[in-house]
Amino acid sequence: MAAVMLQGTGSDVGKSVLVAGLYRLLANRGLKVVPFKPQNMSNNAAVAQCGEIGRAQALQAMACRAVPSIDMNPVLIKPQSDTGAQVVVHGKVIGTLGAADYQHRKGELLSAVMQSWDRLRAGADMVIVEGAGSPAEINLRAGDIANMGFARAAGVPVVLVGDIDRGGVIASIVGTKAVIDEADAAMIHGFVINKFRGDVRLFDDGYAQIEQRTGWSGLGVIPWLAAARQLPAEDAVVLDAAAATDGAITIAVPMLSRIANFDDFDPLAHEPGVRLTMVPPGQPLPGDAALIILPGTKATIADLAFLRAQGWDIDIAAHVRRGGALLGICGGYQMLGQAIEDPDGVEGAPETVAGLGYLPVATRLTADKRVVDVTGTSLRDDQPFTGYEIHVGQTRALPQVQPLLRLDSGEHDGAVSPDGRIAGCYIHRLFDHPAQRGAWLARLGAQGDGVAQDHRVDQALDALAASLENYVDIDRLLAIARHSHD
């Protein structure tokens, strides 16, 4: 079994997308490959066998043409506040820890990481491990399981990824060599430059300088790749909406402070008749929106207060008075109800808060988490959907409330107002199925493009893989990977 680990000079250097593309490339060559990320920090999660993992690892599993497994991401950190996070190990929540507490205890999780590693690598021809953050964060090196701590424990060689688009890539790579200790630096066998714009020949001298100053081999310079825009983001919402065509409808999503699973809206962003607007804090919700969607969140009560602090509750009220449509997904659905009860302090101090009051439902937060893939149909138009649930809390509806969806299990989910303009449900990726998305757009006066989101992503992975064949020295990467050792 061959293995290599891609670590970054910082967060958001494009590791997740690069790894996904490399996996599809190797899978297309006939290799059996599986993704692995020891520790991930993200509120974008996905359902895997027996629990949840980071969304990026689910995407990478798709790139490998493999079934998502909890071993692909044994430790998932889901931030709930600026100083605390929910800790998920082997797909299950083990508790909530403050940032300082986690730093002291993360070394205890190395055994869980290595258990997953041993299980996962046993049946693979090659594993590309994705790091997190940067190995240059030497203040976090003690007990590290995300970068060099894992690489050295598993004997996996490292290739460093630098992002030239943000500037300072020479300093970031050379500086990494300067600040990490010699044993860690010895694990690094090469580097790649990511997100290059323009004539690559202009960087020839810089490339040579990095090789000379570090002693590491360059494996390629990768340009901005258009296919990457078709893939779900993990760590940040990209406010790069396509320009609206004449008569296009606007769909607005307020960016809550703990927004989660925001790739729910990717299918809408790709619709030619839709202008998807991710509204940042401090900005009003657009008055011309046909639909406002309240997204999922890792902290429903805190983000409901955040929503009100932005004045978005006032914008929503005006939108509803104008006859606009309103949808809540997961935590957003909970916010649309009459009340949110947290008697056991799941999200903080025990309390009950008033919801926005648009649907006759109420939610009680509980420690138990529902994590499940689902399929079904919408009750008002009998259109199919596929998706998943990841949430705490149970939402109760009055007997006369019309549910929004019927699951194939026979359960109902969500609620919808009598006039159909206001609705909520727990289903993430509700818009992935083209028939379901088309039905929502038709009610807004637009027409869907009929493309399934999984098909769009799968095509993008193949395009990404084809591009990487041209820009990355794959033979050199494989040679490095074959030097992994126990």
Active-site residue 428, yes or no?
A: yes
Active-site residue 330, yes or no?
A: yes
Q: Which of 64, 90, 319, 330 is catalytic?
A: 330
Q: What is the pLDDT along the chain (486 residues), one digit of tens a residue?
A: 899 999 999 988 999 999 999 999 999 999 999 999 999 998 889 999 889 999 999 999 999 999 999 999 999 999 887 767 889 999 999 888 877 777 777 778 999 999 999 999 998 999 999 999 999 999 999 999 999 999 999 999 999 999 999 889 999 999 999 999 999 999 999 999 999 998 889 999 999 999 999 999 999 999 999 898 888 876 543 434 334 334 489 999 999 999 999 999 999 999 999 999 999 999 999 999 999 999 999 999 999 999 999 999 999 999 999 999 999 999 999 999 999 999 999 998 999 999 999 999 999 999 889 999 999 999 999 999 999 999 999 999 888 899 999 999 999 999 999 999 999 999 999 999 999 999 999 999 999 999 999 999 999 999 999 999 999 999 999 999 998 654
Rounded to whole angstroms, the Cα distance separating 423 from 317 reads: 15
| Statement: the pTM of the whole predicted model exceeds 0.85 | yes
Q: Which of 90, 189, 428, 433 is catalytic?
A: 428
